[in-house]
Amino acid sequence: MDIPRYWRLKSQRYRLQGRRCTDCGSLSFPPRQVCMKCKSRNSEPYEFKGKGKLYSYTTIYQSPDRFEQIIPYVVALVDLEEGVRITAQLTDYFPEQLEIGMDLEMVIRQIYEDGPRGPILYGYKFRPILCPGIES
């Protein structure tokens, strides 16, 4: 990924920022210019809380070149509290503790390093909340 594109996506990748339709209230992530529900173009930025539940997951054993150093890794479908389902890598877990429906929280982690002399790119991942109600 080139640096200018990554810079443009920083709100989405660091703050989990999507869009909220000002006509019908529908939320979207990643941000969309047109509401999928009412087709309106009227929207505003919306920052998701970063809390959700594990809907489903899979372990990746063969990956694109830039992720070869971290295989195997887990990619999950996460149902956010606000009702939007997103995909994300999981981090900070033991494989035996993954359970459909478990509580997750967003954290910022390294996504990949763009070559030995390139930038290190960060973004959101999700990790289990082991003790719900206790902030980590």
Compute the distance between CA of residue 66 and CA of residue 116 in angstroms, rounded to an integer.
11
- Token pair in block for residue 28: 């979207």
Q: CA dihedral defined by 34, 40, 41, 42, rounded to 10 degrees? A: -130
Compute the distance between CA of residue 126 and CA of residue 107 in angstroms, rounded to an integer.
6
Tens digits of per-residue pLDDT, 31-40? 999 999 999 9
Kindly report whether the global pTM for this prediction surpasses the value 0.75: yes
Radius of gyration of the chain from its Cα atoms, rounded to whole angstroms: 16
Highest mean pLDDT range out of 8-17, 44-53, 61-70, 110-119? Answer: 44-53
Burial 17-32 (b: 16+ CB within 10 A, else e): bbbbbeeeebbbbebe
Locus of tokens 């006509």? 23
> Could you tell me which residue, 34 or 121, shows the higher pLDDT?
34
- What pLDDT, on a 0 to 100 scale, did the predictor assign at position 14? 63
Nearest alpha carbon to residue 48 among 73, 84, 21: 84
